[in-house]
Structure 1
Amino acid sequence: MSESIVKNWQGEQVGETSFDLRVAKEETAAHIVHRALVRQMTNSRQGTASTKTRSEVRGGGRKPWRQKGTGRARAGSTRSPLWRGGGVIFGPKPRDFHLKLNRKERRLALRTALVSRIDDLIVVEEFSEQLSSRPKTKELVAALARWGAVPEQKALLILSAITENVELSARNIENLKLIPADQLNVYDLLHADKIVLTTSAIEKIQEVYSG
């Protein structure tokens, strides 16, 4: 059971909330989170890097000089990897870097990563209605500072549902990332200095990831 205070739009404490998520055992927690992080970063690789071998490089069909009698080293093609403009030895080719991790393990890693950041969690009330009818980046930056997430720190804002007004207000804040509660990932949870959640986002996380 994890407990945290709840702040309002002005940054004042208005209550407390708690959430209960099953996490990995202490002796295996670091391992399962590390596996999930490596999987996410590896699966984000495109794997499209490609080089040409000597058989794929254009040209080099004619033997540059006769085999014997010139005093130079024998050569059969100007596209040898030893030559300028030649092919590449053991260069990268398109490949699939995909790593598999069971769904239960992925969710266990997410819950463990989130609970491990309990000291950096900031829980706030729903604030979409507090923003003016027009998107205001300045108002959201000021609110984050009142909550304890200063502009110099990397902040992760987790909402149960992202409204257009909040999205437009947040998209131009340099160190802020906005994600919905049902699309958590280990990298963002570990990368952020501060994690800001709404009370409804906590309920959504418990609904989606509890198990």
Structure 2
Amino acid sequence: MTLQIPAINNQDSAQALDVSEAVFGQDFNETLVHQLVIKYLSAARAGTKGQKNRAAVSGGGAKPFRQKGTGRARAGTTRSPVWRTGGVTFAAQPRSFDQKLNKKMYKVGIRSIFSELLRQGRLAVCNDITPATPKTKDFLSKIKGIDAKRLLVVADDLNENLILAARNIPYIAVVTPSSVDPVSLVSADKVIATATALKQIEERLA
């Protein structure tokens, strides 16, 4: 069975595109989509925070003073966390925040997002999104009439004119089918894609 993705209503509008219900007609799996978004955001974390524990700080090779008779608490090393020059207790170490998610779950999650976008009328197809010149006003004329605070454009080819024309618009992001991510899809008010790009997405998620 097939579904239809509507076209945007402007001079560059394509015909409504027939797509597979197996990819764009899935039920919305909120739990899986949430897991997918958390995995993507976690993988983006640097995880480079690092502190020195008592084994990593320099010094402390000899007992700082004799055991008794000084009136001070006994100490065996200057690397103890209670000393000013000592190591940090439970020191943070560089780590990866990435979470495991197999390819099958990833595909199902992305299908679920695209299906929900289509159901909510937030997904549309456009025949040609690339402006003739690298000017922002030419690109804005391509998407004239689209009311969206956050717009995601999926193009089958990142033409230089498209990149240069769209980069100065803060609420618009331009990606290719291979670089579509769950966070961008979920946060976009409207997703516009070329027919070729949608077919590439359909093949990848089939």
Instruction: Give the Cα separation in 1 of the matches to 2:81 and 2:142.
Output: 60
SS at match of 2:145: helix
Contact kept in structure 2, 1:110 and 1:184, CA below 8 Å: no
Gaps of 5+ in 1: none
Residue 6 of structure 2 is matched in structure 1 by 5
Residue 182 of structure 2 is matched in structure 1 by 186
Once the two structures are superposed, the pairs formed by residues 101-116 of structure 1 within 5 Å of their partners are: 101-116=101-116
Identity %: 34
Contact kept in structure 2, 1:3 and 1:18, CA below 8 Å: yes
- Alpha-carbon distance change, 160 to 86 in structure 1, aligned in 2, over 3 angstroms: same
Instruction: Give the Cα separation in 2 of the matches to 1:29 and 1:207.
Output: 21
Residue 97 of structure 1 is matched in structure 2 by 97
Instruction: Give the Cα separation in 1 of the matches to 2:164 and 2:100.
Output: 35
- Over the aligned positions, Cα root-mean-square deviation in angstroms equals 2.6
Which residue identity is paired with 1:205? I
Which residue identity is paired with 2:103? R
SS at match of 1:93: coil
Larger mean CA deviation between 15-24 and 74-83 belongs to: 15-24
- How many Å apart are 1:2 and its aligned residue? 4.4
TM-score normalised to structure 1 length: 0.81
Instruction: Give the Cα separation in 1 of the matches to 2:144 and 2:85.
Output: 56
TM-score normalised to structure 2 length: 0.83
Instruction: Give the Cα separation in 2 of the matches to 1:32 and 1:175.
Output: 27
Larger mean CA deviation between 167-176 and 96-105 belongs to: 96-105
- Alpha-carbon distance change, 161 to 91 in structure 1, aligned in 2, over 3 angstroms: same
Instruction: Give the Cα separation in 1 of the matches to 2:53 and 2:186.
Output: 41
Q: Is 1:20–2:20 an aligned residue pair? A: yes
